Amino acid sequence: MRFGQWCIVICVTIANSACNGMLRTDVGIEVSMFNNESIRALRFLEGRWSGQAPDGSAFFEEYDFPDVSTMRSRRYRDASFSEASDGSTVALRDGEVISTWGEFTWVAVDIRSGAARFRPINAPSSFSWNQVDEDTVEVNQTWNDENGVEQHYSLILNRVR
């Protein structure tokens, strides 16, 4: 294949991949194509939220954007949002969007307005956020149990006003 033909193949591949942020080459290499706009697409999460944990207890989270390439999440002990007990970040790094919580890390595989999906790098599960409406977000988690059987858990975040 001549140089000009390669350029056409690359341009078509980029155009076809633009919606999901990934470039897949013909040799099976994925190259991330995320940018600050990808982080901006997560703004549907900005604000304070409440939810119910798998054990039935209530939890409270707040998402904010300290800069154009970072989203921060903080979990609070109660509805007063006065004492953070835990936190995580989602940050753009060299064209990839990486989520970090303690020792665990995930990489974004898809970010669009109102939705994001992450696969594990060093974590036990994948997760996604899906905006249901302005005040509701569904969080989905997927993992394999000790027998290798895929498991799912979903919870709802409700905006706190």
Q: How far is CA 131 from CA 7, 45, 95, 103, 156, in A?
A: 37, 8, 24, 27, 10
pLDDT band for 70, please (50, 70, 90 cuts): very high
What's the mean pLDDT in 105-123?
A: 97
| pLDDT at residue number 159 | 98
| pLDDT at residue number 32 | 55
Residue 108 has pLDDT above 80, yes or no: yes
Residue 4 has pLDDT above 90, yes or no: no
State residue 41 phi and psi, 5-degree precision. -65, -15
Which segments of the chain belong to CATH 2.40.128.20? 34-159
Bigger pLDDT: 115 vs 17: 115
What is the H or E stretch that residue 94 is in?
none
| pLDDT at residue number 20 | 45
Return the number of other C-beta atoms located less than 10 Å from residue 71's C-beta.
Answer: 23
**What is the topology classification, in CATH, of domain 34-159?**
Lipocalin (2.40.128)
| pLDDT at residue number 33 | 84
What's the mean pLDDT in 114-133?
A: 97
Q: Which tens digits make up the pLDDT trace of 6-45?
A: 333 333 333 333 444 444 334 444 555 899 999 999 999 9
| pLDDT at residue number 68 | 96
Q: Which residues of 115-139 are buried (b: 16+ CB within 10 A; e: fewer)?
A: bbbbebeebebbbbbebeeeeebeb
Q: How far is CA 124 from CA 61, 105, 146, in A?
A: 21, 10, 11
Please compute Rg for the chain using Cα positions: 18
| pLDDT at residue number 30 | 53
For 142, the 3-state DSSP assignment is: strand
- HEC string of 48-59 equals EEEEECCCCCEE
